[in-house]
Every structure is written in structure tokens, then in C-alpha cells.
Chains A and B, each alone.
Chain A
């Protein structure tokens, strides 16, 4: 820890503690892991460098996640649209997925992650893509079209209150807040 803590300025560390749900050790650990993703010569100013998506996805915590691409896209503030993440984006991500984060912010970001076409609502296409992500690549694991149809119909029936065929943020949060497992499973810890 000795080397990395000297590279992260103390003032920035204090600010990050106020702006995220992470404590000091977690931020320093995040800094260490983030700088390991960079090639050696660029590790000096890890705070202002961007790491390409392919590197981020080599992290073991994200490697096995079916929503890895969506997560990178949602948290990345890259202006080129290449989903590269800076250290602050990385901290944002860890903060939302941390233990101390509130259920409200987790459900907001979960909604954004599941909204594949980013139109602000979850419609049928989003739900279909969601299911296909979850079930994986194997042919027998995927649901056939009847099952898919039934599943989506049931999901919309349960959650769509205004019956417009889509799930908006409020409806999503209403359903998620009543789940006992969501907060404990929507977690990533380094």
C-alpha cells in the first residue's frame, strides 16, 4: 500500500470518501487495482488516465458478469463513446456496487444497466436482451420463444402499473424495493 497511497493526493482521497460509499481502505485498494490495469509507464498519473474497456473486463470481478458491457457503458464518462473508464468512473462503479450504498441508488443504476436501448424505459426488446444475457450462450440454456413470450408477459403483468407495455423507473423501483435479495446480490467487492 505504501507506494500507491503516496500517489493518490490526500485531498482527493478525502473528497472521494465524501462522494462515494467507500471507506479509505477500499479507495486505496481500488486505486491499486486500477493502476495495475495500466501499462507500467502510465501508472504515474493513474488518476487522469483512461483504461480501455477490454482491460477493465479482465478484472475477475467483472469477467464472469453477464452485464459486463452494459456496466462499462453506464459508468463510463468517455466522450468518444468507446466505454473506457477513468479512475473516477471506476470509483463511481465500486461505490454503487458497495455494501453501504442505498437501495435507491442501486435500483437506479440497475435500471440504467438493464435499459439496453437507453430510452428511459424497459420495453419488450430490453427484456428479451436481458434474458438472453442471463441465460448465456449455450443453446439449450436459452429459453425458447414460447417460454420467452410467457415470461415477458408475466413480468409486464406484475410490474407494469400504467399498462403502457413498458416498465419505467418508478415501477421498476417499486418492484425492486420489495425484493429481499436485491441489495445483497447487487454487490461487487474488490
Chain B
């Protein structure tokens, strides 16, 4: 066909006839002559069958052409070639379809319409995925690893929205509608309608009976005090007091929040409420079951899908080096800085892999490794020192770090569960007995556990909150003793504790993000000009987005939410 350089031409097949290979002089390489599998045979077939009027064969031919048309995007051909093949196939279909019987034609036309509809639907649906553009921007800026964290977050958010809607529609809305007063922010204000405080504690396991429940006067007096304080101070004092009052309210949850419709167990002993006779306790039970079942099913589906995708490609074969060379680059990166750090990461991973292979050939003392592993898991602060001394591989370092974080989170959850169970048991045991000694022993244990939980959570974010710890502790003391003195129902207690934990967690997360990452970033960026050393490459640097740790945090939070839901169904 055309003059091609020696070796390539000699190795290449001779050019086929036909318009398909007229590529011009540009790419005289092996790829120009790669023959698409069906193209020639398609021509032959169409020429042969031109004379046959056998409807079946004609139909087969047309189906074949349609298959070619549907697979055309999977061919590695340039656009011109694909266009040619497509137009040719369409011509053939048009020419011969007229000869078909009606039913076959309709069948094929139906399939074609369906495909068009699917394409339209896909175009339409893509517009509705929330935050799609933002995540794509993040993906193009920072790579697909970071974006996967946000995709996971979006999925969790979707689940939680569905859970909220289920709970809200079947439990909260009926309660709200049957109240006499509809105030703004009704979810937070006390429901002073048909539900009185007495009925709130009407459960079997409050053997003390109705008289021992919280009286209505208690929170009104406290609320009055806060109001007078607010109105009688100058601006700075007012601000200070306002903040502390708010914290007290939220913390102790002894105030109006206790009676909001969002709290579990907010129903009396009536089987039906409202004019229509809505069975509220049944609704609670069913919604609990439904929420549980929904979460379970959706989690299983996602796991199955992921394992299917990974099973398709995973096997016992381990192509570490090949993967790190061929699959390592993230083509979504558009930012030169991110590209540099990605290149450095790839080089490091290649070096690591080479190192690891050399190590495999040496023998290691396993006993020492086991002991050291145990120590590093128990003492986080000594961890980095030990790792440096042992000169561990970076990947084992990361593994230990993640294991430590996981163990810490599991420990938190475990200690919280144990503490809550203890407290619940102690409360139902002491019952109407207002003995402070037993409840006092109960409370310090819980308080310690709660503060231990807090301190663990803080250590994860590497901050010191020593000054703020004593105040929550003392507050807990006051409120907890008044709790047990009045023999509160355990559901309220569990709800309060969970709410406190969620709020603390949220506050600390926001604070840690602000202080550790945001302000640090601001300082490094704007102060590095007027500082002794280059802040961007030495000490403070920019906070790094640790994907694994953040994902673990998300899983921990979601696990806590599901734990609460699970507890409700008991």
C-alpha cells in the first residue's frame, strides 16, 4: 500500500484491500495493520447474502449487523474507521429490513426503542446524583483515592437520610400532629400538649411507679434563671454566660430537650393516639425492625457487589511489580503539585517492593517481632520511636498505625457498651430505693468510662483538653446523682448518653479539623514568607489527608448510630 520502514513492514501483514485501511502515511507501525476481526468477513457475508432471499438468513445478517453496531464502541479503531463501519452496517440494515416479515421487524424495532429509552434515562438520571460535580472536581484535583472517601461518605449519607425519613414519617410525624401546641422549633421545645411528664415514665421496669418521675417544676425554674441571666448582662459577659448555659443545657439534657419528640420512648401507655387511632407503640417497634432490616440488606448488597468486582479480578496471583508500574498512575490528576507527590509516591512504592523482595530472602526472628508488635499496640506514644529503631518497612508501620486506631475505636465502643449495661443494671436494681451509695458507685464508673472515651478520642486528634475535662466530670456528677435520685427510665438515660457522645464527637471533630488542618494550613501558607525556615517543607507543613484514618472514623460513627438503633429495638 504505502512505503513503510523496513522492519515494521516486513513484520506486518500485507495491506488488505478495501477502504478500511487507507490510513495514509502517518503511522507506519504495527497498529495500522491490525486487522479488526469481523470487518472483512462482514463485507463477504453481505455480498454473498445479497442474492439470497431466504428470510432467515437475511434476518441473521441483519442481527449480525446490529450486533456490530452495538459493539462498535468497544473496537480500538480511530473514529473515521468506526464511522465508516457504522454507516455501512446501517445501510445494510435499511436495505434488507424492508424484506422482513412484520413481526420480526417490530421485535427489532422494539429492542431499538428500548435501547434509546435506556440511553435517555441514563442521561437524565446522571443529573440527579448529588454533589457529582464537586466530587469530580476533587477527583481531578487530588486523585481517585481521596475522592473514594467522599463517595463513601455520600453513600453513608444516603443511608442515613433514608433512615431519617423512615423514622420521621412513621414515628415523629404522628406524634407531632397529635400535639395541641405547634410552636416553632417544635422538635426542641417541650411538648406541653396531651402528653404530661407523668406518662413519660410509664414503663414496667420503673417499679417505683409514677411518683418518682421528674416533676414538672424542676426544669421550669432552671429555664427562668437562664432567661434572667441572659437579659441582665453586658455584651461580653452575656456571650460568656450564654455559651456556658447552652453547654450546660446540652450536656445535662435535663431541660427541655428531654421532652422532645425525637427522643425514643416518648410515648405513654395508650395503644392508639390521635383521632385516627394511630398505633404508636406498634409503629415504634415496626420502624425499629424496618430500619434494622434496611441497613442490613443494603450493606449486604454493597458488599456482594464489591466482592463480585474484586473476585472477577483477584486470584492468588500477585503481580505486585507489574501493577505498581502499569496501574499506578492516576490519570485524573490535573494539578501539578498533586502530580509531583503522586510520582514520588510511585517511586517510593517501587523502592519498597524491591526492598521487600530482598527481605523475603533473608530470615527474620519472629519471636522478637511478636513481642514488639504487642508493645507498639499498647503504647501509642512509644510507637513511632520503636518503629524508627526497628527500621520497619513503611507498610508495616502503616498497618500498625491502622491496627492501633481500630483497636482504640473498638475499645471505646466496648467500654461504652459495658458501662451503659452496668448503669442500666444498677438502675433497675436500685429501683425505688433512693440510696445514694449504690448509685454513687455506679456513676463514677460511667463517668470514668465516658471521660476515658473522650480522652481516647482526643488522643486520636492529638490535642490536650485537660482543662475542659474536669468541668464535664463535675457536671456529670451533679446531674447523674439527681438522675438516680429520681429513678429515671433507662431509655431516657441511654438516649441522653448517646446524644452527649454524638455531640462531643461532632464538636471535637470540627474543632480538630479547624485547628489541626485549617489554621495550620493558613499559617503555613501565609507565614512561611516571614518565618526563619520554610514552613511548607519542614516542621508544620500542610496537614495531610489521611484517607484510611478518615474512612475508619466514618465507619466508627456509623457503627455507633446503628448500635443506638439496635439498642432501641430491645
Contacts and interface: CB of A to CB of B under 8 A. Distances in A.
Q: Do A and B bind each other?
A: yes
Interface in A173-190: 175-182, 184-189
Contacts of A154: 321, 353-354, 357
Contacts of A7: none
A19 B344 contact: no
Q: Which of A114, A147, A177, A185 has the most CB of B within 10 A?
A: A185
A34 interface: no
Contacts of B332: 61, 185, 187-189
Contacts, number: 181
6 contacts: A24-B123, A66-B343, A88-B78, A105-B74, A178-B315, A179-B327
A19 B251 CA distance: 62
B86 A15 contact: yes
A31 to B, nearest CB: 14
B144 interface: yes
Interface string A156-170: 001100000000000
Contact-residue bracket for chain A: 35 or more
Contact of B69 (A18, A110, A179): A18
Contacts of B79: 19, 77, 88-89, 91-92
A35 interface: no
A134 B346 contact: yes
Contacts of A89: 78-79
A179 B323 contact: yes
B331 A79 contact: no
A141 interface: yes
Interface string A134-156: 11100001010001001100110
A20 interface: yes
A178 B313 contact: yes
B313 A185 contact: no
B205 interface: no
A64 B83 contact: no
B322 A134 contact: no
B73 A60 contact: no
B326 interface: yes
Q: Which of B72, B80, B317, B343 has the most CB of A within 10 A?
A: B343
Contacts of A60: 140, 334
Interface in B330-373: 330-336, 338-340, 343-344, 346-347, 350-351, 353-354, 357
A108 B334 CA distance: 23
B26 A81 contact: yes
A38 B390 CA distance: 58
Given A61-B140, A127-B325, A180 B313 contact: yes
A105 B86 CA distance: 18
Interface of A: 15, 17-21, 23-25, 60-61, 63-67, 77-81, 88-89, 91-92, 95, 97, 102, 104-105, 108-110, 112, 114, 118-120, 127, 130-131, 134-136, 141, 143, 147, 150-151, 154-155, 158-159, 172, 175-182, 184-189
Nearest to B122: A23
Given A119-B11, A189-B140, 11 more contacts: A23-B119, A23-B123, A118-B30, A147-B351, A154-B321, A158-B320, A175-B323, A181-B323, A185-B331, A187-B332, A189-B139
B86 to A, nearest CB: 6
A143 B346 CA distance: 11
Contacts of A188: 331-332
Given A64-B333, A136-B340, A110 B317 contact: no
A87 to B, nearest CB: 9
